[in-house]
Amino acid sequence: MDLAKKRILVTGADGFIGSHLSEELVKLGYGVRALVYYNSHNSWGWLDHVSRDIQDNLEICAGDIRDPHGVDLAMQGCEVVFHLAALVGIPYSYYSPDTYVDTNIKGSLNIFQAARRLDVEKVIHTSTSEVYGTARFVPINEEHPVQGQSPYSATKIAADQMALAFYNSFLTPIAIIRPFNTYGPRQSARAVIPTIISQIASGRRTIKLGSIHPTRDFNYIKDTVRGFIAVAGSDASVGEVVNIGSNYEISIADLVAVIAEIMRAKVEIQTEEVRLRPEKSEVERLWADHCKAQRLLGWEPEYAGREGLKRGLTETIKWFCAAENLKRYRPNIYNL
């Protein structure tokens, strides 16, 4: 599929990954409509902070994916839909699972229903490595069982299955991209890398965290965005689930050491009870197999291995340490 000839909708364009994806699509010269969450402040989220030339080449549409009528209007005239809008904070899903059902499941259903009605040419639905739960084997490929270890992951599993159901039942052209832990500039401090960096950058040397023994496969934002665009451009991805990950596993404790080394800081880790997941809800191990992405899409991570992680972290740290960026974060509190 040649995206240059298509009108593209990005849902969740105001968020971390969505803003980077929208920005890159505009840089590539594509026509982009950005669906941002309606609010009384007229904020476009992270799109408020991209350059003016990017903003001027975006068609901004404010709405809510929980509203099927608004979704239908937002999708009219678009041939390709990148569906990223979702609630993603795992701790908050313990407090408000109903909201996750409404947004992640019903909101996605609205996207799929509208795509079917409007004969959209392709939907790229965003999954998450959290659907796998604690690895039963590594590296994790797309055949790994899914396990709902949090209300968040359960709703993402349900949304993924609904996407596949629409493909199998109605031949709705849907592809599922399953990024592992993406990091980079603009990420919320609800994620571990911004939590670590923002605490050190603000002068703390005792870093408050939850569990530090679990391992993760961290994927730099530029690689994730390339993955989204590769899935969209590949006809072979329709009806498929595709992992996007670095194929490098690191524990949170070792991650802290790498970040502290780059930031030239000597730190200690303090485990804070409120940051711990319930015991059976903690995902102990994630490590991506991205062979399918290589085979179907020709995609490989440019920030691979330990050295790739260090390059991505260096770019991320540089962004967070800029005063105008750090002031947007509250490192002294736990971000639920």
Tell me the DSSP string of 136-203: SSSSB-TTSPP---SHHHHHHHHHHHHHHHHHHHH---EEEEEE-EEE-TT--TTSHHHHHHHHHHTT
Structural domain includes residue 194: no
Averaged pLDDT, 306-315: 98
Give the pLDDT confidence score for residue 264 in this predicted structure: 98
Q: Which residues contact 190 (CB under 8 A, 6 or more apart)?
A: 88, 89, 91, 92, 335, 336
**Domains contained in the chain, number:** 1
26: closest CA among 16, 34, 36?
34
Radius of gyration of the chain (CA): 19
Give the pLDDT confidence score for residue 53 in this predicted structure: 97
Structural domain includes residue 253: no
Structural domain includes residue 240: yes
304: closest CA among 244, 243, 247?
247
Q: What is the pLDDT of residues 159-211, one digit of tens each?
A: 999 999 999 999 999 999 999 999 999 999 999 999 999 999 999 999 999 99
Structural domain includes residue 54: yes
Question: Has residue 332 got a pLDDT over 90?
Answer: no
CATH number, residue 175: 3.40.50.720
Structural domain includes residue 178: yes
Give the pLDDT confidence score for residue 335 in this predicted structure: 82
**Mean pLDDT for the chain overall:** 97
Which pLDDT band holds residue 336 (cuts at 50, 70, 90)?
A: confident
Q: Which residues constitute the domain of residue 95?
A: 3-182+219-244
Give the pLDDT confidence score for residue 173 in this predicted structure: 98
Give the pLDDT confidence score for residue 43 in this predicted structure: 96
Q: What is the pLDDT of residues 83-142, one digit of tens each?
A: 999 999 999 999 999 999 999 999 999 999 999 999 999 999 999 999 999 999 999 999
Structural domain includes residue 39: yes
Structural domain includes residue 30: yes
Structural domain includes residue 77: yes
Averaged pLDDT, 5-24: 97
Give the pLDDT confidence score for residue 119 in this predicted structure: 97
